[in-house]
Amino acid sequence: MQFLANPTRFLKIANAALPTVWAITIVLFAIGLYGALVTAPADYQQGETVRIMYVHVPAAWMALFVYTVMALASALALIFRHPLADVAAKTAAPIGAVFCFLSLATGSLWGKPMWGAWWVWDARLTSMFVLMLLYIGYMAIWAAIEEPHKAAMVARVVALVGFINIPIVKFSVDWWNSLHQPASVFRMGGPTIAGPMLWPLLVMGLAYTFLFLALHLTAMRAEIAARKIRQIQIAEIGDR
């Protein structure tokens, strides 16, 4: 962790790793999509619409995973003053928000033929929606405070308070109303999904994870460059 504290060293590693990460992402997506759209059988109840699952479920996993990354990075920034942790948290937020939006949008498309409505006020939908609002609030803080150093400190608080609240929100809406099917992959006693449907789903999950890694590294690289430009500009104003 301390090894990566130097932005130049981080950039060197990121630049070296990015082509490989992108290549793995593309290969995984090719395998996953082939499995999802061609070899996986249609569901006996839901028919072909079940294929939305391969886009929808990994997106929802990633929305939660990225928020966890964001909160971890914020905690690292708060505890160890790691210089790149704030950059990591800031750049993860928009990516996570897109994953969150993707899972809501595909869920809505899936819900119309299955439940007969674009949107129902079910526990999972509501908690994903709240997660989306948390992402938006976090990004709004970065946008609203001009000074990057101050924005970073405030954003850490927002990310961590949100992270404490997610389980509470999740548990309260579960108790409130639930129509969505329960978890069927990561549960005690093994997955309940049949093998030919399970492996494309897991490959897609892995593909999404690598996609996030690639996007995140690229975004962090861009953010570091943007900060450098800002500093150069400030120095130029000072010279004048």
Partner 1 sequence: MKLILALIKRDLTLSLRQGGGIGTALGFFLSVVVLLPIGIGPDQALLARIAPGALWIALLLSVLLSADRIFQQDYEDGSLDIMTMGPVPFEMVALAKAVAHWLSTSLPLAIAAPLLGFLVNLEPSAILPLALAMMLGSIALSLLAAIGAAVTVGLRRGGLLVSILVLPLYVPVLIFGLSASQPGAAPGLTTASLLILGAIALVSLVVSPLASAAALRSYLK
Tell me which of 7, 35, 58, 162 binds partner 1, using CB under 8 A: 162
The residues with which 43 forms a beta bridge, in sequence order, are 47
Using CB atoms within 10 Å of the CB of residue 109, give its burial: 0 to 12 exposed, 13 to 18 middle, 19+ buried. middle
Q: How many helices and strands (H and E) does the chain possess?
A: 6, 0
Task: Indicate which single residue of 145, 185, 198, 202 sits in contact with partner 1 (rule: CB under 8 A).
Answer: 145
- Supply the DSSP string of 159-192, one letter for each residue: HHHHHHHHHHHHHHHHHH---SPPP-SSSTT---
Q: Taking contact as CB under 8 A, which single stretch among the options 33-41, 67-75, 105-113, 154-162 is the one that binds partner 1? A: 154-162
Give min distance, CB of 149 to partner 1, in A.
8
Q: Are 71 and 62 in contact (CB under 8 A)?
A: no
Indicate whether 154 belongs to the interface with partner 1 (CB under 8 A).
yes
Closer to partner 1 by CB, 16 or 143: give it: 143
Of the candidate residues 30, 136, 179, 225, the single one contacting partner 1 (CB under 8 A): 136
Question: What is the DSSP code (8-state) at residue 208?
Answer: H
The span from the CA of 80 to the CA of 2, in Å, is 9
Q: Which run of H or E residues covers position 107?
A: helix 85-115
Q: What residues between 170 and 209 interact with partner 1 by CB under 8 A?
A: 172-173, 175-176
Q: Is 235 in the site for partner 1 (CB under 8 A)?
A: no
Which of 133, 194, 232, 234 is in the footprint of partner 1 by CB under 8 A?
Answer: 133
Give 153 or 225: the residue with its C-beta nearer to partner 1.
153
Kindly state the tokens that stand for 14: 């990121």
Residue selected from 75, 169, 202, 213 as contacting partner 1 according to rule CB under 8 A: 169
DSSP label of 35: I
Q: How many whole angstroms separate alpha carbon 11 and alpha carbon 225?
A: 10
Q: How far is the CB of 224 from partner 1 (least distance, A)?
A: 22
Closest CB to partner 1 among residues 164, 188: 164
Chain contacts with partner 1 (rule: CB under 8 A)? 78, 126, 130, 133-134, 136-137, 140-141, 144-145, 150, 153-154, 156-158, 160-162, 164-165, 168-169, 172-173, 175-176
